[in-house]
Amino acid sequence: MSQQRVLDGRYEVGELIGRGGMADVHLGRDVRLGRSVAIKLLRPDLARDPQFQSRFRREAQAVAGLNHPSIVSVFDTGDQCVVDDVTEPVTVPFIVMEYVDGRTLRDLVRSKELSIDEAIEHTLGVLSALEYSHRAGIVHRDIKPANVMVTPDGGVKVMDFGIARAIADSAATMTQTQAVIGTAQYLSPEQARGETVDARSDLYSAACLLYEMLASRPPFVGDSPVSVAYQHVREVPEPPSRFNPEISSALDGVMLRALQKSRQERFQDAAAFRRALRAARTGVALTPPAPTVPEQD
């Protein structure tokens, strides 16, 4: 596809700045308003599949109604007819989004430039975005470092709601295809098992993200995605202080709660997670949960 083109007579498509499993993202320019934008185009090979078309459009619908400083804004959507030398013309949907000048958390983790305070602050921003989206009925389903941008002034922007889904729709068990959606290092146990997904699944993924920022490694590593997924379901993660001795016991306690296998034993909403993180930053430990009474046979 040509790099030099204009969508809807308004959006100039420039250099490729990102590539995902479903779509390519280009730097663009809104000639009408004279501002930089990010343009996400569904890959032409996937655009021939109605399921991918529907999923891609659902992203725009999900995010268009979200107005929060820590969520990348959607400005416009449309379709572009693409013709190449091999196949018949195909209609490719696109999304015009806010362009964020910054670096992903993945890049910052790899560069080992994050302090503990910065890791907490970035996670608070992610949780603020999730608190808002969850109230709006949207589960992100793919929280990971590559989907979080940090601006030069330290602001956080959560992006790529491409597999987001309304909470009401998440009540249905995921299909086999949907069950593998997400990235293994950040999958909640219920996602790894192909079970129902809710807001607490996003909070587990956010905890994995924080763990990696603190420990410079995710809570579970393995030789394959299947191996990592198994550990999310069965294994207890090491406290992050084992890999970073500067981490306090209070922060270890927050991570232990946030990474519980059972959703009922995790933080029940983003606000509770945020409160616990703020307290841990000042050295205040979590109150241990009341012990559960084992069921009698």
247 vs 132: CA distance, rounded Å = 28
Residue with the two structure tokens 């400083």: 69
Parallel, antiparallel, or unpaired: how do β-strands 23-30 and 11-19 relate? antiparallel
C-alpha dihedral sign at 40, 112, 118, 199: positive
User: Both tokens of residue 129?
Assistant: 């975005």
130 vs 47: CA distance, rounded Å = 29
**Whole-Å CA distances, 204 to 25, 140, 157:** 27, 12, 18
Q: How many CB atoms lie within 10 A of CB 133?
A: 26
146 vs 162: CA distance, rounded Å = 13
Give the neighbor-by-neighbor strand order of the sheet with 90-98.
Answer: 5-7, 11-19, 23-30, 35-42, 90-98, 74-82
Q: List the catalytic residue out of 79, 101, 142, 297.
A: 142
User: Both tokens of residue 196?
Assistant: 């129902």
User: Both tokens of residue 237?
Assistant: 């993660």
The DSSP result for 89-140, as a single string, is -EEEEEEEEE---SEEHHHHHHHT---HHHHHHHHHHHHHHHHHHHHTTEE-
Catalytic (active site) residue 142: yes
51 vs 16: CA distance, rounded Å = 25
Active site residues: 142
